[in-house]
Amino acid sequence: MEKIFVTITGCTLDFETVRQMMEPLALRDNEFATLVAWNDRDKGIHSPQCLKCEIKGEPGWEVYGRNHGGRLRISVNDDTWVLIYS
């Protein structure tokens, strides 16, 4: 899986803003890229929600993203937000 690390300073961010800002990165190599998994560390929420929140020491949402076509992992502000795209 390709990994991109982004740092954004100087403005207040929320998940929706981050998603809108990162989508062009996902679409540049795959015009059909789809957000398959994500995490908002500060709010403690992620998708997909799963009954087993950890699989072999990794967050379940991240394992799901990797195993369901995830080709790109974008980390924003040191994993404050993580988006996995197909």
DSSP 8-state assignment for residue 56 = T
**Interstrand relation of 2-6 and 72-76 (parallel, antiparallel or unpaired):** parallel
Among the residues of the chain, which ranges form H helices?
Answer: 15-27, 60-67
Which pLDDT band holds residue 51 (cuts at 50, 70, 90)?
low
Q: What mean pLDDT is reported for the chain?
A: 91
Domain 2-85 has CATH 3.20.20.70: no
pLDDT of residue 20: 96
Euclidean distance between CA atoms 25 and 13, whole angstroms: 17
End-to-end CA, the chain = 10
pTM score, two decimals? 0.89
Which pLDDT band holds residue 58 (cuts at 50, 70, 90)?
confident
The residue ranges of every structural domain in the chain are 2-85
Using alpha carbons, select from 74, 75, 50 the residue that is nearest to residue 63. Answer: 50
